[in-house]
Amino acid sequence: MTERVLTGITTTGTPHLGNYVGAIRPAIAASREDGVESFFFLADYHALIKCADPERIARSRLEIAASWLAAGLDTARVTFYRQSDIPETTELNWLLTCVTAKGQMNRAHAYKAAVDANGEASDDPDAGITMGLYCYPILMAADILLFNAHRVPVGRDQVQHIEMARDVAQRFNHSFGQGRDLFVLPQAEIEASVATLPGLDGRKMSKSYDNTVPLFEGGPKALKDAVARIVTDSRLPGEPKDPDSAHLVTLHDAFADEATRLAFHADLRSGLGWGDAKQRVVQLIEAHVGPMREQYVQLMAHPEQIEDILQAGAQKARVAVAPFMAELRHAVGLRRMVAVPQAKAAKVHATKSDAPVFKQYRESDGQFYFKLNAVDGTLLLQSQAFADGREAGAWVKRFKQEGASALLDAPVALAEGVDRAVLEAALADLLAAQA
List interacting residues with ligand TRP (CB under 6 A): 6-10, 43, 46, 140, 143-144, 152, 154-155, 158
Smaller CB distance to ligand TRP: residue 172 or 386?
172
- Ranges of beta strands (E only) in 300-395 are 357-362, 368-373, 379-383
Give me the least distance between CB of 67 and ligand TRP, in Å please: 14
Nearest to 19 by CA among 55, 76, 66, 78: 66
The identity of residue 379, as a single letter, is L
Smaller CB distance to ligand TRP: residue 6 or 407?
6
Give me the least distance between CB of 144 and ligand TRP, in Å please: 5
State which residue has the least CB distance to ligand TRP: 8
Give me the least distance between CB of 118 and ligand TRP, in Å please: 21
Smaller CB distance to ligand TRP: residue 18 or 243?
18
User: Residue 351: exposed, middle, or buried by beta-carbon count in 10 A (0-12, 13-18, 19+)?
Assistant: exposed
Which whole-number Å values give the CA distances from 99 to 170, 176, 328, 330, 334, in the listed order? 10, 10, 13, 16, 15
Residues 397-431 as b/e (b if ≥16 CB within 10 A, e otherwise) read: eebeebbbbbbeebebeebeebeeebbbbbbbbbb
Smaller CB distance to ligand TRP: residue 155 or 356?
155
Would you say how long the chain is, in residues?
Answer: 435
d(CA 435, CA 430): 9
For the chain, how many helices (H) and strands (E)? 18, 9
Give me the least distance between CB of 143 and ligand TRP, in Å please: 4
d(CA 314, CA 320): 10
Smaller CB distance to ligand TRP: residue 10 or 196?
10
Which whole-number Å values give the CA distances from 252 to 146, 158, 214, 243, 276, in the listed order? 37, 24, 15, 10, 13
Give me the least distance between CB of 7 and ligand TRP, in Å please: 5
Smaller CB distance to ligand TRP: residue 39 or 395?
39
Smaller CB distance to ligand TRP: residue 38 or 383?
38
R_g of the chain, CA atoms, integer Å: 26
DSSP letters, 227-244, are: HHT-----PPTTS---GG
Give me the least distance between CB of 77 and ligand TRP, in Å please: 18
Give me the least distance between CB of 9 and ligand TRP, in Å please: 6
Smaller CB distance to ligand TRP: residue 168 or 426?
168
d(CA 378, CA 91): 31
The identity of residue 102, as a single letter, is K
d(CA 282, CA 226): 9
Give me the least distance between CB of 157 and ligand TRP, in Å please: 7
d(CA 109, CA 129): 13
Smaller CB distance to ligand TRP: residue 197 or 249?
197
d(CA 115, CA 377): 60
Smaller CB distance to ligand TRP: residue 157 or 201?
157
Give me the least distance between CB of 121 and ligand TRP, in Å please: 24
Give me the least distance between CB of 45 and ligand TRP, in Å please: 8
Long-range contacts of 216-220 (CB under 8 A, 24+ apart): 216/15, 216/66, 216/67, 216/70, 216/289, 216/292, 216/293, 216/296, 216/297, 217/14, 217/15, 217/63, 219/293, 220/282, 220/286, 220/290, 220/293
Smaller CB distance to ligand TRP: residue 15 or 403?
15
